[in-house]
Structure 1
Amino acid sequence: MDDLRIRAATPEDLDAVLAFWKVAAEGTSISDDRSGVEWLVDRDPEALILAERGGDLAGTVIAGFDGWRCHLYRLAVHPDHRRRGVGAALLAAAEERFVRLGGRRGDAMVLDRNGLAQHAWRAAGYAPEPQWSRWVKPLDG
Structure 2
Amino acid sequence: MNIEPATPEDAAEILALQKAAYLSEGELYGDLSIPPLTQTLEELVQSFGRNTILKAVQEGRIVGSVNGRISNGRCLVGRLMVRPDLQGRGLGTLLLAAIEEKFADAVCYQLFTGEKSVANIRLYERLGYRVYERKEVPGSVAVVFMEKKGRAAT
Please name the residue that 2:41 is paired with. 34
For 1:91-113, what per-residue CA distance to the aligned partner results, in whole angstroms no more than 9, with x for missing partners? 111111111xx311001111112
Letter matched to residue 85 of structure 2:
D
Give 1:135 shift: 7.6
Q: What is the TM-score when the length of structure 2 is the normalising length?
A: 0.73
1:63 to 68, 74, 78: 68
Please list every run of 5 or more consecutive structure 1 residues that lacks an aligned counterpart in the other structure. Answer: none
Identity percentage of aligned residues: 29
Please name the residue that 2:152 is paired with. none
Q: Residue 113 of structure 2: SS of its match in structure 1?
A: coil
Q: What is the TM-score when the length of structure 1 is the normalising length?
A: 0.79
Q: Does 1:126 align with 2:126?
A: no
Aligned-residue Cα RMSD (Å) equals 2.1
Query: Runs in 1 of length 4+ with deviation above 3 angstroms?
Result: 133-137
Give distance in 1, aligned partners of 2:135 and 2:39. 20
Please list every run of 5 or more consecutive structure 2 residues that lacks an aligned counterpart in the other structure. Answer: 27-33, 139-154
- Figure out how many residues of one structure are paired with residues of the other and give that number: 128
Give distance in 2, aligned partners of 1:62 and 1:43. 10
Q: Residue 56 of structure 2: SS of its match in structure 1?
A: strand
Higher strand residue share: 2
